[in-house]
Chains A and B, each alone.
Chain A
Amino acid sequence: MIRGRALQFLRRVAAIVEKDIAAELHSKEVVSAMLVFSVVALMIFSFALDLRGEMAEAAAPGVLWATVVFAGTLGLSRSLAREQQSGGMEGLLLAPVDRSAIFFGKAAGNFVFMGVVEVALLPLFSALFDVPLLRADVLLVLVLGTVGYAAVGTLLAAMAVNTRAREVMLPVLLLPLAVPVLIGAVQATRGLVEGATLAEVGSWIRILVVYDLVIVAVSLLTFGSVVEE
């Protein structure tokens, strides 16, 4: 009985993710916006901070995550705005679907979009900063950081999209809450790049994991209150 419900839940989450991917494959607006912005941001960081040689290496993890975080706000806004367009969110709420399935579906979709952009950025960063970033442990940190960020970002974007300021509201709301991710992910990445093992950057990984668990739980619990009237 419970297994049946769990499968049903997963099927619905999968349906939402697939729907988002299908829409994105046509319009490509979320991923392309994030990618273009990331490349531009990268260039601006390089010019503004005069990143060369050793400075570039030291700055790489920070610039990477700053870019991911800012580009993420774009993607999250667009993704939730798409639901708002012709009342898609209403359509979701009308269905006999648990609100948490809607949350997981949207958050997972956002995670996928951010992930695609991040994976595309890594080789670019590795080349530009002359830092080997295409490694499994760095990817793990990327995943851990993105999970929490996508989760709370989905929750806050669902609110932001209904405000007067719309897209502009999201970074204001989201960024102060992303401090643990930013610090944890950057420090972990830096440690790994400088030769530490995963165990040695363990305390940062722990912060990311705790953050992910707590923030996903809280977002899940409050998402219903955000989308329902």
Chain B
Amino acid sequence: MIEARNVTKSFGPRTALAGVDLSIAEGELVTLVGPNGAGKTTLLRILATLSRPSSGTVRIGGLDASRDGERVRAEIGFLSHQTLLYDELTGEQNLRFYARMYEVASDRARIGEVLERVGLGMRRHDRVETLSRGMKQRLAVARAVLHHPRLLLLDEPYSGLDAEAADRLTDLLVELGRERRTILLATHRLGRGVSVGQRVLILHQGRVVYDQPRGAIELPGFAQLYRAMTSQEP
């Protein structure tokens, strides 16, 4: 589903990504962990075609991300730590807008469906600005999956969520994962990240320094390993 080869990204003299190779098959649920500044957001934005790599290639679903941007974007659902929702509009209005942008067929039905899915059916006619942070995040998930994307990219989805909201999000993600969608989740919260993913990658100073299936990891040992790897100099 995702084929990234030697992706680099520099902002002037500063290098955010120093050569990332990534291969994720369809249906995999992958967690990307790394400290702040490791380049997780940069990488996810490049995969979402929001940003162009300084060098390297990115193929999503077999398509070249830089050349077929539009078609690639139709297959991607993106969750940022920003909600990407319009505060003055209601949940329903927001989803209706995005349904039109993504050309979602039978949008009324689909909107009702995703709202129920994330448990916001009752609040659909409330303005987004009146919703709690956790609810906004759930609405953002609804927006992200509205158009049946084959790939979900989640950047720090747990930020600002309390334990209960975070649990609910995890359940949702696991559910989505079971539907043969490809999910890439980036977070700096080890515990949650590792428990959700089937495969765990560590990103440090713009490079992937660790890539193992979850089965090979036990949590306490992993935390130590993570600390060791992320304090290393390249």
Contacts and interface: CB of A to CB of B under 8 A. Distances in A.
Contact of A12 (B51, B84, B101): B101
A94 B70 CA distance: 9
B80 interface: yes
Give the secondary structure class of A's interface.
Answer: helix
Interface in B34-85: 45, 48-52, 70-71, 73-74, 76, 78, 80, 82-85
B117 interface: no
Contacts of B175: none
A91 to B, nearest CB: 4
Interface residues of B, number: 31
A200 interface: no
A98 B103 CA distance: 13
Contacts of A183: none
Contact of B80 (A8, A12, A87): A87
A22 B49 CA distance: 28
B93 interface: yes
A23 B89 contact: yes
A228 interface: yes
B127 interface: yes
A86 B83 contact: yes
B79 to A, nearest CB: 10
A95 B87 contact: no
B98 interface: yes
Which of B52, B85, B97 has the most C-beta atoms of chain A within 10 angstroms of its own C-beta? B97
B7 to A, nearest CB: 14
A26 B84 contact: no
Contact of B89 (A26, A90, A93): A26
11 contacts: A15-B97, A19-B97, A22-B89, A26-B88, A27-B88, A86-B86, A86-B128, A87-B80, A91-B143, A95-B98, A228-B50
Given A26-B127, A88-B84, 5 more contacts: A12-B101, A86-B128, A88-B85, A94-B48, A96-B102
Interface of A: 8, 11-12, 15, 18-19, 22-23, 26-27, 82, 85-88, 90-98, 228-229
